[in-house]
Amino acid sequence: MADAKKQPGDRLSEATLIERAKQGDAQAFEALYNLHKRRVYSLCLRMTANTAAAEDLTQEAFLQLFRKIGTFRGESAFSTWLHRMAVNVVLMQLRKKGLPVVPLEDTMESEEEAPKKEPGADDPRLAGSIDRLRLQQSIAALPPGYRMIFLLHDVEGYEHNEIAGMVGCSIGNSKSQLHKARMKLRELLKTSRAEKATKP
């Protein structure tokens, strides 16, 4: 997974913040939180589709990270460490609630969830007309298994081998579920666009 773009100066200041946080500096903790809060919270929000749950999970992810900050040696990027922790916190929460974390295998998929195949259908192009709000709404409407893989790969930038390790599925399953998620989103976005076009 590629880290967010950073300048050398930014890396140095984050390293300084980490060292100060290890010494118990409250401002350093807060600065580290402010640097990464949006990404962690956005991830939690999209995975849970619930503001309250996302805030609780964000809090839990940062607390777990800060409790272990004394052990951080800088072998990997701090943001990578934090992000993986956030994903693990979300996955644990979903498992506790009994929600599907491991994507459904192809044979177990329900007819409702499967994206409709339209070979040769004459649909207008979607490219160039996707707005952020409709995409967000469509992602929230995805089945949890599809949504998980889509968020981790297309939004957060994890590779399939990383996703497979995190959620406990095969790389092939991850690719398959990602494709189905994108197909389902295409269907949802076209439906949404058609509905919008028919409204007075």
Position 175 contacts another protein (CB under 8 A): yes
Residues 107-146 that bind another protein (CB under 8 A): 117, 119-123, 125-128, 130, 132, 135-136, 139
CA distance 197 to 64: 47
The torsion defined by the Cα of 153, 172, 131 and 144, in degrees rounded to 10, comes to -80
Phi/psi of residue 108, nearest 5 degrees: -95, -5
Q: Smallest distance, Å, CB 16 to another protein?
A: 17
Do you know the residue count of the chain? Answer: 200
Would you say the C-alpha torsion 137, 140, 145, 148 has a positive or negative sign?
A: positive
Among positions 42, 99, 114, 140, the unique one binding another protein when judged by CB under 8 A:
42
Residues 45-104 that bind another protein (CB under 8 A): 45-46, 52, 54-56, 58-59, 62-63, 66-67, 97
Burial status of residue 151 (CB atoms within 10 A of its CB: 0-12, 13-18, 19 or more): buried
Q: Which residues bind another protein (CB under 8 A)?
A: 4, 23-26, 29-30, 33-34, 37-39, 41-42, 45-46, 52, 54-56, 58-59, 62-63, 66-67, 97, 117, 119-123, 125-128, 130, 132, 135-136, 139, 150, 154-157, 175-176, 178-179, 182-183, 185-186, 189
